[in-house]
Structure 1
Amino acid sequence: MYTKETSFSRRMKQAEQHAASLLQQILIFVLIFLVIFMMVQIQNLHGTAHVVNYAGLVRGATQREVKLEITGTADDMQIEYLDKILSGLKYEDGNYNLVSLKDPAYQQCLDNQIKYWELLKEEIYTVREKGYENTNVVSMSETYFEYADETVTAAEQYSEKIAARIRLTEIISALDILLLIFLIVQQQIQHIKAVRENHILSKKAYLDVHTGLPNKSRCEDLLNSSGFITEPLCFVMFDLNNLKEVNDTLGHAAGDSMIANFAHILRKVVPEKDFVGRYGGDEFIAILYDTTSGQADELLEKLHATIKQYHSSNMPDAISYAYGYSYSMNYKDCTLRNLLDKADHEMYLNKQAQKKKR
């Protein structure tokens, strides 16, 4: 059941990570599209602003042209100039870099203005022949001004539409970026959690659950990773006596209790800087760093006294052990594995000596 639940949980996490990654990719593509769309709209806005300026210029320049014609000052170059601007506004031709706005309302207003401009031009030519008193050029000029004003207004409204699109695109882009940041932060948090969980699992993989000490795998890694020892170091091997007898007579719970209690006492007596691990079922090792043989003897005496004190209140769960140790300074070019073998041999001799005394 645990395996199935764990497998299901793992699949759910993987599915969530895949969904988050897919969503992140979609948001990135959406953001790219929005940026491109915004750039196009900004370019259109610039072109629209140019159109608004020239449409307003036509409005004012036409009024000036009519005033000149009324005063008897003909200006064909001004008429040609106005023709070119209107043509540029309609067809994007000429030398003014004008664009034709893709807006039906604006195009309709511009068409009306161009048609009426043709009528106004005919009236201007009539003024030149008959004088302005015999024409409707003034009233037509006012009407044309209204047409031109409608064109400018339509261009401004179209410009406002583009600006509104840009603002909306900016808002959507900001939301997209915020969501992307949220996903990235969430993924980072999950990554940190995963690293921590892996670290905890890694520590558990090297932890003896029953005693809380490093297990045999951790001990072996330490033994295998060590090179020649150049510092004063003492390697101690411990073996609990009569564990099988305790298991057979008092039960495995009593045997487990004896193992756990000895591990607790050993870890308490041995300084924190030094290594203590469970090497096997009833075997323990201690590596005493920067320690002399005399200091090792003192520590073993302290362990013996602590065990004796423990026995005074726990006779039914008495702890008996054999030990042996080896000192690095007594050997040349030795490794932890060499010291383990020598300490194990000494421990065997100590165990045999204890049996003879019984």
Structure 2
Amino acid sequence: MLNREIRSDRKNKNIIGMIQSCLILILVLLIIMIMVQITRLQGTARVINYAGLVRGDTQRMVKLEITGSRSDELIKYLDDILSGLRYQDGHYDLVKLHDKEYQDKLQVQSDYWEKLKKEIEAVRSGGYENTDIVNMSEIYFHMADETVFAAENYSEKIAVKIRTIELLSALNMLCLVILVIMQTLAAMKMAMKNKLLEQRAYTDAHTGLPNKSACEALLRDQDMIIEPTACIMFDLNNLKTVNDTMGHSAGDRLIMNFSRLLRSVIPDKDFVGRYGGDEFMAVIYHTDKTEIGELLQSLSREKDRLNSNEDQIPIDYACGWAHSTDEGTCTLQMLLDKADSYMYENKKLCKKRNLCSR
């Protein structure tokens, strides 16, 4: 069940990772789009400014022509601006707005500008009284206003696009934050499940003690023992008899009772594990031989107390122990091997004398 959950979590993690990658790609594209739109907006502001200048300078030019003051330079200046607005050329760094309404208005204004220039020639040759320059200039001013208004509309459209992209970017980043939180929670959940799996891998399901794998992992340490340490091996003498006469459920209860006995007497700081079916081991740290003797006596007294209960399945065990000070330079495995040897000697004595002592 736990393995299936972990596989499911990994699959979900992969899906979240793919979604996150897509969101990051979308965010990059949105940022690029914002940069493009901002660039367009900056160019649009310059176009609006110069489109407004055309209107004002045309008014000034018409007044000069009516009063008889020619201004060819001003006409050339207006020609350059209109050309820059239409074709993105000239000396004013103007951009061409890709908006149909604006381009249509600008085309109409540019065409009428050519008519207005012809009318100016007529004013120069015959005086403004015999021309329609005033009326045409008013029409042209209105056209210029419409062109500016179209450019402003285009600018507002870009601003709306930017606000929309910003909103989408904010939502995208919110989704990314949520995914990061989900990934963090999923990673924490995965770590907890992996830890639980690891605990299960090294925990005896029946007794709750460290299992054989945990015992072997402890014994793989090849460092020489420095602090005074003792190893004790235990073997239940009557497990097979209980299994044969009372059933395996009774044998399981016996194993459970013995594991509780060991754990209740041996200090929590020390290691107690189930080494095999009916074998248990203990590692007692920072101890001397006197303390080990007292510990084994306490274990024997507690065993006798439990066996005095009528409904208790009798606990009978053989044990052997070895202390690092007796063995000289040794590893934990070497110390346990010596304890195991003593335990088998004790087991033989138990069979002969029906008692359990070293």
> Common fold, TM-score beyond 0.5?
yes
- Pairing partner for 1:352 from 335, 344, 348: 348
Q: SS at the partner of 1:291? A: coil
Alignment partner of 1:200 is 2:200: no
Alignment partner of 1:147 is 2:143: yes
Q: SS at the partner of 1:239? A: strand
Alignment partner of 1:213 is 2:218: no
Q: What is the 5 A alignment of 1:1-358?
A: 12-314=8-310, 316-358=312-354
Aligned-partner Cα distance in 2 for 1:100–1:350? 102
Which 4+ runs in 1 deviate beyond 6 A? none
Aligned-partner Cα distance in 1 for 2:210–2:64? 104
TM (normalized to structure 2)?
Answer: 0.93
CA contact 2:306–2:312 (8 Å) conserved in 1 = no
Q: SS at the partner of 1:346? A: helix
Q: Residues 189, 319 of structure 1: CA spacing in aligned structure 2 closer, same or farther, 3 A cutoff?
A: same
Please identify, of 19-28 and 272-281, the stretch whose mean Cα deviation from structure 2 is larger.
Answer: 19-28
Aligned-partner Cα distance in 1 for 2:21–2:82? 47
Q: SS at the partner of 2:334? A: helix
Q: Residues 220, 6 of structure 1: CA spacing in aligned structure 2 closer, same or farther, 3 A cutoff?
A: closer
| Offset from partner CA, 1:15-49 (integer Å, 9 cap, x none) | 43443333222222222222222211111111111
Give the number of equivalent residue pairs.
354
Q: SS at the partner of 1:100? A: coil
Distance apart, 1:181 and its partner CA: 2.2
Please identify, of 169-178 and 259-268, the stretch whose mean Cα deviation from structure 2 is larger.
Answer: 169-178
Give the counterpart letter for 2:170 in structure 1. Answer: A
Give the counterpart letter for 1:21 in structure 2. Answer: G
Q: Residues 331, 6 of structure 1: CA spacing in aligned structure 2 closer, same or farther, 3 A cutoff?
A: closer
TM (normalized to structure 1)?
Answer: 0.93
Distance apart, 1:145 and its partner CA: 0.7
Q: Residues 180, 143 of structure 1: CA spacing in aligned structure 2 closer, same or farther, 3 A cutoff?
A: same
Please identify, of 19-28 and 199-208, the stretch whose mean Cα deviation from structure 2 is larger.
Answer: 19-28
Q: Residues 157, 238 of structure 1: CA spacing in aligned structure 2 closer, same or farther, 3 A cutoff?
A: same
Aligned-partner Cα distance in 1 for 2:295–2:6? 47
Aligned-partner Cα distance in 2 for 1:334–1:17? 47
Give the counterpart letter for 1:147 in structure 2. Answer: M
Give the counterpart letter for 2:12 in structure 1. Answer: E
Aligned-partner Cα distance in 2 for 1:24–1:42? 27
Q: SS at the partner of 2:234? A: strand
Q: Residues 188, 323 of structure 1: CA spacing in aligned structure 2 closer, same or farther, 3 A cutoff?
A: same
Aligned-partner Cα distance in 2 for 1:178–1:345? 66
CA contact 2:9–2:186 (8 Å) conserved in 1 = no
Q: SS at the partner of 2:223? A: coil
| Offset from partner CA, 1:236-291 (integer Å, 9 cap, x none) | 11111121111111221111111101101111111111000011111111100000
Distance apart, 1:11 and its partner CA: 6.1
Distance apart, 1:12 and its partner CA: 4.9
Distance apart, 1:195 and its partner CA: 1.7
Distance apart, 1:77 and its partner CA: 0.3
Q: Percent identity?
A: 52
CA contact 2:319–2:342 (8 Å) conserved in 1 = yes
Give the counterpart letter for 2:69 in structure 1. Answer: T
| Offset from partner CA, 1:175-217 (integer Å, 9 cap, x none) | 1222222223212221221121111101101111111101111
Please identify, of 330-339 and 254-263, the stretch whose mean Cα deviation from structure 2 is larger.
Answer: 330-339
Q: SS at the partner of 2:281? A: strand
Instruction: In structure 2, list runs of 5 or more residues that go unmatched.
Output: none
Alpha-carbon RMSD across the aligned residues, in angstroms, is 1.8
CA contact 1:274–1:287 (8 Å) conserved in 2 = yes
CA contact 1:231–1:329 (8 Å) conserved in 2 = no
Distance apart, 1:356 and its partner CA: 2.9
CA contact 2:6–2:190 (8 Å) conserved in 1 = no
Q: SS at the partner of 2:272? A: strand
Aligned-partner Cα distance in 1 for 2:264–2:149? 90
Distance apart, 1:340 and its partner CA: 1.2
Q: Residues 230, 315 of structure 1: CA spacing in aligned structure 2 closer, same or farther, 3 A cutoff?
A: same
CA contact 1:274–1:289 (8 Å) conserved in 2 = yes
Q: Residues 12, 297 of structure 1: CA spacing in aligned structure 2 closer, same or farther, 3 A cutoff?
A: closer
Q: Residues 259, 11 of structure 1: CA spacing in aligned structure 2 closer, same or farther, 3 A cutoff?
A: closer
Please identify, of 143-152 and 30-39, the stretch whose mean Cα deviation from structure 2 is larger.
Answer: 30-39
